[in-house]
Amino acid sequence: MTGDTENEQPSTGPTDGPCKTSRNRPEPDSLHCYNRNNRGTHLCVFVHGYQGASTDLSLIKGQMGLLYPHVDMMCSKANEGRTQDSLQAMGERLAAEVCDRLDVLSLAGQKRPLAALSFVGHSLGTLITRAALASPRMAPYLPKLELFISICGPHLGQLYSKNGLVDMGVGFLKLMSIKGGSLHQLALSDAGSNTRTSWLYKLATSAPEGPGSLQLFRNVVLVASAQDRYVPLHSARLASCEAAQHDSNKQRREAFAEMLQASIQGFGAPQASQLLRVDVDFPPQGTNSSFFNNLLGRTAHIALIEDVDFARCLVWGVIRRYKLIRPDVVGTWLP
């Protein structure tokens, strides 16, 4: 697993397992012991992807629970069985669910106000999270956003996908789904042929200060894998691609460049949000999946939430090592 940050050449850091990461911050000091009484509430929300379930991110949640036992964690259930709806509708449901949970936590601990709010999203769940942040319900909590972990999230949609089989399947599902639903939005075709009128384009270009912007978080981790052929690598990493540069459709090519530029603008500057890219490569013998799943590229897409070694590496080798959660809002039992 490799990583890089904005405005820095990648370098390799010593971590356990297959993790290789880099970051434009110095090695953190050891984390301090935690005293629950003098810190506020930190809620971490886990959001599943398309046709997913609330338990999809249980492995990562479990590892984070071991490291940060005093973080309040919630697996979203609001969109189970309803991921064909529009991202706006799913975002509103997630926002309502999060606000309800925060209300319960505030009543349960009057002396522990909200100190931080973090999200971990898989696949479509990353866009549902961003749609939730654009909801007016979430406005009071935006200053508390701490960490966003995006696991193979299609932030630039499915533009320039190289997987013909998946594109064919998505096209069929689009015919069966409602116009303006999540699959149409991923294809940036929810508002006609003009890419700039699509909801995802508007979300991306609202950055760096608009609702749903990644820059609202203190730290953003983009996890991607070239073996994942469900979500284009450039979309998950927020990076350019050769197909976009040579696209003969000028309107689409320029719209894609505008989405990308707005999405990464401002990261890495002093006192600004920090962006960490983590690239994952699974060994063939470690995927333990069928030939058909490997052919579709589904194996790595699912392994990113089902592989125990990756979950450990992400939490202990990335989140803890680079101190992506501030010690003043969360603690650990480690010295």
Q: Can you give the pLDDT of all 335 residues of the chain as single tens digits?
A: 655 655 443 333 334 444 544 444 434 333 334 444 456 889 999 999 999 999 999 999 999 999 999 899 999 999 999 999 999 999 999 999 999 999 988 876 555 788 999 999 999 999 999 999 999 999 999 999 999 999 999 999 989 987 655 555 555 455 556 556 888 899 888 877 889 999 999 999 997 778 889 999 999 999 999 999 889 999 999 999 999 999 999 999 999 999 999 999 999 888 889 999 999 998 875 445 565 555 556 788 999 999 999 999 999 999 999 999 987 776 555 55
Residue type, 61: K
CA-CA-CA-CA torsion for 229, 226, 214, 121, nearest 10 degrees? 60
Residue identified by tokens 């349960």 is 108
> What span, in angstroms and rounded, lies between the C-alpha atoms of 318 and 64?
11
Written as six digits, the tokens of 301 are 């897409």
Gap between the Cα atoms of 210 and 142, Å rounded: 11
Task: Give the residues across from 278 on adjacent strands.
Answer: 3, 223
Contact (CB, 8 A) for 47 and 121: yes
How far is residue 269's CA from residue 272's CA, in Å, rounded to a whole number?
5
Distances (CA, A) of 131 to 34, 200, 315: 33, 10, 25
Amino acid at the residue 96: A
Identify the H or E element spanning 75. Answer: strand 72-75
